[in-house]
Amino acid sequence: MPESQHATASSTAANPASPTETVVVSGIQPSGTLHLGNYFGAIRQHIALHRRHEAYFFIVNYHALTSLQDADALARYTLDVATTYLALGFDPDEAHLFIQSDVPEVTELAWIFYNLTPVSHLEKGVSYKDKVAQGLSPNAGLLNYPVLQAADILIYGGTLVPVGADQKQHIEMTRDTAGRFNHTYCPDDDPLFPLPEPHILDDVSVIPGVDGRKMSKSYGNTIGLFDEGKMLKKKVMGIVTDSTPLDAPKDPEQDNVFALIKLFASEEKQAEIAAAYRAGGYGYGHAKKELLGMIDAYFAEARERRHKLEERPDYVRDVLREGAKAARAQAEPMMDRVRAATGLISARR
Ligand code: TRP
């Protein structure tokens, strides 16, 4: 599995509470079967980063509830994300992988943050605004989604958040939240939360689905990470192309198949195929066969591992349980400090 060259962590010198240590945190939505867009947009970089720093990766099932209210599907997707990460080379000895709701303290922290968050800021949230613009009535979970995300990040003292460009606003809101908490409850020289930096990943909007639009579950145009055999072939051969005849020269940069080939092929191979496009006599069918072979080879090892993992669901659960244990070992003392700072006393202890 080639590791990404793009995932170099930036320095986090701007963090008041933790000037030197990088803590990577990121959440993954369990909202459907993962596809090439998810892989090249985020998962690949998560895998590349997870060995380099202390890192927390969690499957955000609480967040998924804002749009997915099918219990069986949520449970299935949650385990599917975990299996996928492990199959792709996530090593649970190197970083923590767990289910968000196994650390219920995040919802408590989110509650505390709600009281520091102006509703007017939440109403500017992009996904909230989108829903409203579509004439839909968003639920309160969606309005408050960015606050829970802030809690997710800050409860582990996260300093670096590898996410897609669409998440920039959420990280800004997280920084605001950390700042407001520190300002309200902490002495100036002893802030509790570091201000996390986004680590913006490659733009995935350029990854086309089989119909040429951005690859997205909601368009039903995805190629699944573990599609194989006939299913994979059918999808690849069905990628939309223009009707330039086989003999004619073609512009690779205008073609969906070539856009996908670029994700897999070495520079030399890309140049070779681009030259064949421009020379003419090389049809889209050729390009698709080439792409099919590339996808098949690229994920062959992961597919194999996935088949093995599917026979060991207990192992996947063990990994998630251990991950949650480690995450809670961070979250619990953090919440003790938060409760102490905010005056939430307990008569139980
Ligand atoms: N909102 C993120 C997404 O849709 C998922 C997410 C939830 C997340 N909590 C997070 C990402 C914390 C980074 C850090 O992709």
Sheet holding 160-163, edge to edge: 96-99, 54-59, 23-28, 160-163, 197-200
> Which positions are catalytic?
131, 214, 217
Q: Is 31 in the pocket of ligand 1 (CB under 6 A)?
A: no
pLDDT per residue as tens digits for the range 212-232 = 999 988 899 999 999 999 999
Neighbours of 11 (CB within 10 A): 12
Cα–ligand 1 centroid distance for 45 (angstroms): 14
Q: How confident is the model at residue 20 (pLDDT cuts 50, 70, 90)?
A: low
How much is the pLDDT for 18?
46
Q: In the predicted model, is pLDDT for residue 238 greater than 50?
A: yes
| Cα 144 from Cα 262, distance rounded (Å) | 38
Question: At the fourth CATH level, which superfamily is domain 227-298?
Answer: Tyrosyl-Transfer RNA Synthetase (1.10.240.10)
Of 81, 37, 83, nearest in space to 60 by CA = 81
Ligand 1 atom nearest to 29, measured from its CA = 5
Radius of gyration of the chain (CA): 22
Ligand 1: does its nearest atom lie under 6 Å from the Cβ of 45? no
Ligand 1 atom closest to 170 (CA): 1
Same fold, 5-206+313-342 and 227-298: no
Confidence band (pLDDT; 50, 70, 90) for 25?
Answer: very high
What does the alpha-carbon distance between residue 181 and residue 339 come to, in Å, rounded to a whole number? 12
Region of poorest pLDDT, from 123-132, 289-298, 324-333: 123-132
29 lines ligand 1 (CB under 6 A): yes
Residue nearest to atom 10 of ligand 1 (CA): 27
Q: Which residues contact 289 (CB under 8 A, 6 or more apart)?
A: none
Strands (E), the chain: 23-28, 54-59, 96-99, 160-163, 197-200
- Is the pTM here over 0.85, yes or no? yes
CA of 233 to the centre of ligand 1 (A): 32
Which residue in this structure is represented by tokens 């990854």?
Answer: 207
Burial of residue 268, with CB atoms counted within 10 A of its CB: 0-12 exposed, 13-18 middle, 19 or more buried? exposed
Give the mean pLDDT of 30-47. Answer: 91
- Residue at 61: amino acid letter: N
Cβ of 149 below 6 Å from ligand 1: yes
Burial 274-307 (b: 16+ CB within 10 A, else e): bebbeeeebbbeebbebbbebbbebbeebbebbe
At 323, the pLDDT band (50, 70, 90 cuts) reads very high
| Percent with pLDDT over 90 in the chain | 85
For the chain, which residues make up each domain, given as ranges? 5-206+313-342, 227-298
pLDDT at 4: 40
Q: 345 burial class (0-12, 13-18, 19+ CB within 10 angstroms)? A: exposed
Average pLDDT, the chain: 92
What CATH number does the domain located at 5-206+313-342 have?
A: 3.40.50.620
Q: Is the CB of 163 under 6 A from ligand 1?
A: yes
3-state secondary structure string across 161-189:
EEECHHHHHHHHHHHHHHHHHHHHHCCCC
So what's the pLDDT on residue 32?
83
Residue 19 pLDDT more than 70?
no
